[in-house]
Amino acid sequence: MLRVIVELKVEYAAHQLEGKVGVWWSHYRTSLPANAVVTWDQFKTAFRNTYIPQGLMTIKRTKFMNLTQGTKSLIEYLHAFNNLSRYCTEFVDTEAKKLASFKRGLGPKLSMNMAGNKSTTFNEFVSDALTQENSNAVYAASKNRKRASEAGASQSMAPVTSKPAYHPPNVVTRYRPP
């Protein structure tokens, strides 16, 4: 993360704007008094009002609130969580809130396995959860191999019955001259 002092945040961000967004910024600046200082909060508000409509914010917030791991891997869930959390910063503005929001959406098995976890930081919890998810996958794979092995062993011990040989019926064909 780039550390920029608050007074220079707007200048730095504005310098990064290109294309249509750069044109928007130029027009926005001309609508202000000549030497007006734009604060970071003013910049964010103006930018979001232009490029992130309130309706979209509402949709993204709802998606965040309904986000669950479901059939996604933990990494896929983490990416979706990080993407949507940008739209509801009040739920992730502290480690405790971020951790609670993330745990809320975990799948039942992983949630149960992680219930006793004492991690206090988000990154530590995610690391532990990834380790647990991998352990669950290794365990499930070993059980599947054992079942397949047992099924194969029981099939080989079954008596082998042979099929009766095929004997076509005796068909006599007679030659008839034309």
Alpha carbons 148 and 23: distance in angstroms, whole number: 64
Report H helices in 40-121. Answer: 40-51, 54-66, 74-85, 95-104, 108-113
pLDDT range class, residue 177, cuts 50, 70, 90? low
Please tell me which residue, 10 or 166, carries the higher pLDDT value: 10
Cα(first)–Cα(last) distance of the chain, in Å? 99
pLDDT surpassing 80 at residue 164 = no
pLDDT range class, residue 149, cuts 50, 70, 90? confident
| Helix, strand, coil percentages for the chain (3-state, nearest 5) | 65, 0, 35
Q: Which pairs with CB-CB distance under 8 Å and at least 24 residues apart come from 115-123?
A: 120/95, 121/95, 122/95, 122/98
pLDDT digits (tens, 9 = 90+) for 23-72: 999 999 999 998 889 999 999 999 988 988 889 989 999 999 999 999 99
17 phi-psi bin (left φ>0, alpha ψ -120 to 50, beta other) = beta
pLDDT surpassing 70 at residue 174 = no
For residue 90, give the DSSP letter: G
The predicted model gives 156-171 an average pLDDT of: 59
Alpha carbons 112 and 84: distance in angstroms, whole number: 24
Alpha carbons 120 and 128: distance in angstroms, whole number: 11
